[in-house]
């Protein structure tokens, strides 16, 4: 899967990627339905089609023909995409400091005690793993 760069994943592109990550390879219709379920405003079928065609042109998706329809698959893993987005945010808004982002993310919203404990465990594992 590796290191494909999503140059500037747009909002809609991200939504479509999310759907494909969850549903696995899908045709346009399925994606369009999921898109409309998630959000209030309707999105036309051809709009979704066009978006996915563009993503295919950009190399974000592959497709294969199954009968008359195309089945699309993502070429980026969710983790890779998340990492790139986090990197970008750290760079653009947190002076390159992951620590600052983490503190901001934790500080300004309510976390449950079990969430906090989960992070503690995670920190322990990180240090062990060295």
Per-residue binding string, DNA, 65-104, x by CB under 7 A, is --xxxx----------------------------------
Q: Provide the CA 66 distance to its chain's centre, in angstroms.
A: 26
Q: Which of 67, 82, 68, 64 is nearest to 26 (CA)?
A: 64
Residues pairing with 65 in the sheet: 70
Q: What, of its own copies, DNA, none, does residue 31 touch, CB below 5 to 8 Å by kind?
A: none
Tell which positions 34-53 bind DNA, by CB under 7 A: 41-47, 49-51, 53
- Quote the CA–CA distance of 80 and 104 in Å, as a whole number: 22
Hey, what are 85's tokens? Answer: 């987005």
Residue 25 DSSP one-character state: S
Nearer Cβ to its own copies, position 8 or 65? 8
Name the minimum Å distance from CB 20 to its own copies.
14
Q: Check: CB of residue 77 under 8 Å from CB of residue 20.
A: no
Residues of the shown chain interacting with its own copies in the complex, contacts defined by CB under 8 A? 11, 14-15, 18, 79, 81-83, 85-87, 89-90, 92-94, 98-99, 101-109, 111, 113, 115-116, 118-120, 122-123, 126-127
């Amino acid at each position: 899967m590796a290191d494909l760069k999503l140059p500037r994943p747009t909002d809609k592109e991200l939504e479509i990627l999310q759907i494909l990550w969850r549903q696995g390879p899908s045709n346009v219709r399925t994606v369009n339905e999921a898109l409309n379920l998630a959000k209030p405003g309707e999105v036309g079928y051809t709009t979704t089609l066009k978006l996915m065609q563009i993503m295919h042109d950009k190399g974000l998706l592959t497709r294969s023909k199954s009968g008359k329809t195309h089945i699309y698959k993502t070429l980026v893993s969710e983790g890779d995409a998340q990492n790139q987005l986090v990197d970008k945010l750290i760079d653009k808004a947190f002076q390159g400091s992951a620590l600052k982002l983490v503190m901001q993310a934790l500080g300004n919203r309510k976390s449950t005690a079990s969430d906090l404990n989960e992070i503690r465990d995670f920190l322990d594992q990180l240090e062990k793993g060295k």
